[in-house]
């Protein structure tokens, strides 16, 4: 049996990334080469078998937690246990970067992947839904009775944002470091020292917001108002991913947002792979 070899990404791997990315089945556009090289390549591992690239993993080592963003095995090489080999290599990589826990998102109907992640010690923590939200539908969302203000999320905001919305330590700084993203914070102007009321990480390329977190459903509208100037002018809709928030999910459904993707967020301890 040929041995699976893990290695860091090289600029010449872009075509392999583009070929395998579509196998995620998430309908997002493939990043252009320059964006992939600047934002993803440094955290991507490729896996070769007999000199052929058969899988890749895009993982973000945060503060003690590894966020596994993509795990893809080529369709021609599935059913042979390569996914488990990739997960063991990712576990070793993240352990080497100081991470003791890991997390990822998966389609719950992808039973093979769910089984693999559970075998690696992960369990589902919450559900998530990605909506396609038209701007005219967003205009029908309820609004807060009190004034709120949106502004760029700056590094001094990171800890408060992560604490308020249960984000992973270092998640906001990692997003800022990738570049090309718009990070926005929603605050109460009458209470500048209070916890933030909302946070959005908007990617104009998709275009979509993930994470998109608010303290109450009526705060989604002003946060979306702040996103809109950063969206392409011809854009009629955007993607909004809602995590572990039944009230916001119901509010978006009520104004006619359509479901693009249903997912599950898994977390667990990284096993000792020796």
Give pLDDT tens digits for 47-102: 999 999 999 999 999 999 999 999 999 999 998 899 999 999 999 999 999 999 99
Give pLDDT tens digits for 99-128: 999 999 999 999 999 999 999 999 999 999
Same domain, residue pair 52 and 138: no
Same domain, residue pair 157 and 83: no
Give pLDDT tens digits for 176-224: 999 999 999 999 999 988 999 999 999 999 999 999 999 999 999 999 9
Of the three residues 99, 115, 145, the one that is the final residue of a domain is 99
Range(s) of the domain holding residue 156: 129-264
pLDDT of residue 114: 97
Same domain, residue pair 26 and 83: yes
Q: How far apart are CA 208 and CA 182, in angstroms?
A: 10
List, in sequence order, every residue forming a beta bridge with 124; answer none if it has no partner: 266
Q: Where are the alpha helices (DSSP H) in the chain?
A: 14-21, 33-35, 82-96, 111-119, 135-138, 158-165, 171-178, 220-227, 246-254
207 cis-preceded (ω within 30 degrees of 0): yes
Domain count across the chain: 2
């Amino acid at each position: 049996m040929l041995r699976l070899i893990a290695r860091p990404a090289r600029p010449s791997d872009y075509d392999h990334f583009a070929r395998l990315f579509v196998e995620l089945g998430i309908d997002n556009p493939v990043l252009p080469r320059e964006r992939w090289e600047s934002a993803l390549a440094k955290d991507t591992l490729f896996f070769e078998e007999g000199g052929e690239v058969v899988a890749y993993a895009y993982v973000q080592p945060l503060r003690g937690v590894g966020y596994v963003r993509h795990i893809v095995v080529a369709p021609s090489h599935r059913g042979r246990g390569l996914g488990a080999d990739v997960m063991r290599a990712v576990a070793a990589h993240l352990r080497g970067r100081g991470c003791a826990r890991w997390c990822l998102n998966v389609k719950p109907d992808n039973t093979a992947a769910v089984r693999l992640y559970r075998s690696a010690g992960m369990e589902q923590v919450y559900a998530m839904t990605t909506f396609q939200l038209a701007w005219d539908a967003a205009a029908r969302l309820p609004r807060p009775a009190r004034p709120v203000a949106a502004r760029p999320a700056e590094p001094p905001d990171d800890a408060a944002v992560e604490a308020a919305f249960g984000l992973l330590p270092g998640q906001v700084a990692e997003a800022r470091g990738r570049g090309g993203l718009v990070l926005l914070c929603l605050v109460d102007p009458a209470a500048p020292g209070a916890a933030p009321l909302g946070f959005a990480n908007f990617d104009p390329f998709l275009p979509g917001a993930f994470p998109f977190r608010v303290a109450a459903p009526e705060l989604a509208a002003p946060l979306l108002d702040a996103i809109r100037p950063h969206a392409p002018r011809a854009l009629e809709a955007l993607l909004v991913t809602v995590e572990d928030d039944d009230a916001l999910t119901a509010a978006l459904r009520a104004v006619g947002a359509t479901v693009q993707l249903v997912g599950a967020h898994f977390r667990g301890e990284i096993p000792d792979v020796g």
